[in-house]
Amino acid sequence: MDTLLLSRIQFGANISFHILFPTITIALGWVLLFFKLRFNATGESKWMDAYMFWVKIFALSFAMGVVSGITMSFQFGTNWPGFMETVGNVAGPLLAYEVMTAFFLEAVFLGIMLFGASRVKPWVHTMATFLVAFGTTMSTFWIIVLNSWMHTPQGYELRDGIVFATNWWEIVFNPSMPYRFVHMMLASGLTVAFLIAGISALRLLWGDRAESVKSTLRFGIIAAAALIPLQILAGDFHGLNTLEHQPAKVAAMEANWETGPNVPLVLFALPDEDARENRFEIAVPNGASLILTHKADGVVPGLNDFVAEDGTALHPRVAPVFFSFRVMVGTGLAMLALSWAGLYFLRRYGAGDMPALPLYAFTAMSFSGWIATLAGWYTTEIGRQPWLVQGVLSTKDAVSDVPAGMVLGTLIGYLVIYAALIIAYIAVITYLARKASRGEPLSTRTYPRGGEAEVAVLHPGE
Amino acid sequence: MEMFGDPAIWLPWTFAALMGLSILIYVILDGFDLGVGLLMPLADDLEKDRLVASIGPFWDANETWLVLAIGLLLVAFPPAHGIILTSLYLPVFIMLVGLILRGVSFEFRAKAPLSQKPRWNAAFFAGSLMASMSQGFMLGMYVMGLTWTVSHVAFALLTAVFLTVGYSFIGAAWLIAKTDGALQMHAVRWAKGGIWGLILGIGAISLATPFVSPRIFDKWFSLPEFLYLSPMPILSGALVVYLWWQINQLAKVQDRMTWGPFVAAMALFALAFAGMAYSFYPYVVPEQITIYEAAAAPESLFIILLGTLFVLPAILGYTVLSYYIFRGKATELRYD
């Protein structure tokens, strides 16, 4: 294997590992704020118990996200020097704004959020929780802006092969940014909803009957059921946007070789790039035309439109895009089915007496958000190939000239560490759930609520 | 943009200064928490918890200065970023693995089953060691002009050891201020053991730098520059003497002037850094590319600078707030 492919695998491995944890912390930050506010409003200790349990998982996920994120900021330089040399004038400010507006905010207030509850006033602690959640969302925003610009660049001009920014408004609000941002935020929400539902279900299965567990199971199921239709809708809009700006990616997602009307929806196939056709195809007639153009005879672009005269493909490799797209959609549909079934069980039995079957199903789907998120990112990122920045910079022009053996060495090193850490991460979450299920107290303190002292004065009789 | 003269001159200069400031803040702040990590094997089990507690609320923000520094190199001097990081490919990898291990061990050691705690303590130490050693190695390689020859690597290995011991010193100085009782006395002993790394490290780099390039030699040893610059080594010497005296003093009288060693160590780091900055200016890749040649487009730098002017004071403000909230002696770390 050459340096290019190894560097791509290495960056892919790094960014795949990294995104797992922001996907959790982005939404979990807001969920923690919700738990905290519920506690402030009701004074019910179950909300603080829920907060105390999930804040540990938040802290762990956050640390994993920070360290793997640092890795990536260095890999731009060690493996992809051409990226910053060519588009640094656009990517630089966006990354700088992420570090300045998001990283420091989250990092500093995380300390206060985690360890400061006994040192600051309750409202300061709530505020710190808000600022951490806000920081993770800002971070998402800037990264999505940059990533979307790499898919749908505008607001720039080329001088001697170097990109210069001409209109920052156009750069930030590039055509795919709103779709990608909403899609990612919802993905994070779903990942966390299923994680919370899954771990709560596991604790119920272990015989934990704490009020906080019933509440978090209810919360997880309702959040999942509410978010998944929105996500399917957002995904559809995002797909239409991709069709407009990156037709080759959509052609690969659908494994459609010839441009034309009445294109079927391929449910399963083995795309064969040498023969340029699908093997073992199972398809729904007119399906792709209906989904992508909302008309049965709508024209869908085909891969054969994206081939140079000398025969080199100008579209991404078909199979990875095709399959990862199907994994994402399949996981999404499973999420839809389970969360709505969960709603039914919730109404019928309540969270505390839910039968074992749905509890097992939710436990099994605890990390389903990870699968869908990764599959979705593979679809869009591999789908952009052979470009690093669509139409501006090809991936092979950005790679460093570090020897392949060296990249292979570091790649193996990273993979070993990442595998070990994922195992440790899931094991520790399970261990924390087990420990909490045994009824070990999450805290020995009683928490003051904002404004509690005043309330006591107003209602002295109670 | 034009109000301070040619933006192609003052913008790169400003960004080099900002980057230098970030690196200096990083080296001091993460220096002390990496240093505390290096001291882990010397502490007993109860002390280990207090060591971690003394840096728990801070380490994440401290590390963010590294992201800012590398980010500024990346955004302000893109070609230099590529050259420096590709030539330091392996040490960067080792540093990143170290930072990964160190960062996650913080969490795992407190959350994993008790029986696994020693393993995560070991990972915490190993991560701190890898990060410190590789940073010292990269410092040495940078001073030597980023070329891989046997003598350069030998020098870089030497600076790796010195910086690591230097970090353990500033870590011990931090502990002197943040702990009390028997642990504080241990920290005083550790500081005594680590001060030589600081002295030898600063000495080695100060001596080696002028001989790497005649340009740098002339900057230091021609008149009248030599006279203007002489306060720097004199002040450094005075700080070392003070450090030595203060630490011996602390061994006799407990818990008095406990911030003295840490503040003096910060000043020493800052002086050494200023000296290096003076030596290498205007080059960002030593003797190859100047900050003016490597700078990104003024329009892009200006956009970043605008944001920086608003955000940097806020960052400094809430960093101070965090150190204020967690002031005093380090106690047990609790979520509640």
Query: How does pLDDT run across B221-262, given as a tens digit for each residue?
Result: 887 888 888 888 888 888 888 888 888 888 777 777 888 888
- The answer to whether residue A248 is domain-embedded is yes
pLDDT of residue A461: 38
pLDDT tens per residue, range A129-157: 999 999 999 999 999 999 999 999 999 99
pLDDT of residue A366: 94
More confident residue, B111 or A19: A19
Cβ contact (<8 Å) for B79 and A71?
A: no
SS3 A271: strand
Q: Mean per-residue pLDDT for A10-26?
A: 93
Contacts of B158 (CB under 8 A, 6+ apart): B140, B204
- The answer to whether residue B331 is domain-embedded is no
Assess contact for A24 and A192: CB atoms under 8 A: yes
| B113–chain A Cβ distance below 8 A for any pair | yes
Burial A401-426 (b: 16+ CB within 10 A, else e): ebeeeebeebbeebeebbeebeebbe
Q: Residues in chain B with pLDDT < 70?
A: 1-3, 335-336
- For the record, the structure tokens of A264 come out as 């079927």
| B78–chain A Cβ distance below 8 A for any pair | yes
Q: How confident is the model at residue A294 (pLDDT cuts 50, 70, 90)?
A: confident
pLDDT higher than 50, residue A455 = no
pLDDT higher than 50, residue A460 = no
Closest by CA to B118, choosing from B66, B45, B54, is B45
CATH code for position B201: 1.20.1630
| A66–chain B Cβ distance below 8 A for any pair | yes
Cβ contact (<8 Å) for A112 and B81?
A: no
Q: Mean per-residue pLDDT for A159-174?
A: 91
* Euclidean distance between CA atoms A205 and A193, whole angstroms: 18
* Euclidean distance between CA atoms A262 and A265, whole angstroms: 9
pLDDT of residue B304: 84
More confident residue, A42 or A461: A42
Task: Give percent of chain A above pLDDT 70.
Answer: 95
- The answer to whether residue A266 is domain-embedded is no
What is the average pLDDT score of chain A? 87
pLDDT of residue A70: 83
Give residue for tokens 């549909």. A333
- The answer to whether residue A286 is domain-embedded is no
pLDDT higher than 80, residue A445 = no
pLDDT higher than 70, residue A452 = no
Chain A residues 168-197 with a CB less than 8 Å from chain B: 168
* Euclidean distance between CA atoms A237 and A318, whole angstroms: 22
Q: Which residues of B are less than 8 Å from A101 in CB distance? A: 307, 311
Q: Where are the alpha helices (DSSP H) in chain B?
A: 7-39, 45-55, 59-76, 78-87, 89-111, 117-143, 150-178, 181-212, 214-221, 225-229, 231-252, 260-280, 291-294, 298-325
Cβ contact (<8 Å) for B318 and A109?
A: yes
Q: Which domain holds residue A40?
A: 3-259+301-437
How many domains would you assign to chain B? Answer: 1
pLDDT higher than 60, residue A456 = no
pLDDT of residue B203: 86
Q: Where are the alpha helices (DSSP H) in A80-121?
A: 81-98, 104-115
pLDDT higher than 80, residue A446 = no
Q: Which domain holds residue B216?
A: 8-325
ipTM of model: 0.80
pTM attached to this predicted model: 0.86
- The answer to whether residue B2 is domain-embedded is no
Most B CBs within 10 A among A15, A18, A24, A89, hence the mutation to make, goes to A89
CA distance to partner chain A, nearest, from residue B192 (Å): 31
Chain B residues 221-260 with a CB less than 8 Å from chain A: none
- The answer to whether residue A265 is domain-embedded is no
How many domains would you assign to chain A? Answer: 1
Cβ contact (<8 Å) for B300 and A92?
A: yes
- The answer to whether residue B132 is domain-embedded is yes
pLDDT tens per residue, range A338-381: 999 999 999 998 888 889 999 999 999 999 999 999 999 999 99
Q: How confident is the model at residue A462 (pLDDT cuts 50, 70, 90)?
A: very low
pLDDT tens per residue, range B19-56: 888 889 988 998 998 999 999 888 888 888 888 888 88
One-letter amino acid at A189 equals G
What is the average pLDDT score of chain B? 85
- The answer to whether residue A429 is domain-embedded is yes
- The answer to whether residue A271 is domain-embedded is no
| B57–chain A Cβ distance below 8 A for any pair | yes
Query: Can you say how many angstroms the Cα of residue A312 is from the centroid of all Cα atoms in its chain?
Result: 33
- The answer to whether residue B330 is domain-embedded is no
Q: Which residues of B are less than 8 Å from A117 in CB distance? A: 335-336
- The answer to whether residue A19 is domain-embedded is yes
Most B CBs within 10 A among A70, A164, A422, hence the mutation to make, goes to A70
pLDDT tens per residue, range B153-171: 988 898 899 889 889 998 9
Assess contact for B144 and B91: CB atoms under 8 A: no
Nearest residue of chain B to residue A124 (CA atoms): B325
Nearest residue of chain A to residue B56 (CA atoms): A111
- The answer to whether residue A337 is domain-embedded is yes
| B34–chain A Cβ distance below 8 A for any pair | no
Cβ contact (<8 Å) for A84 and B81?
A: yes
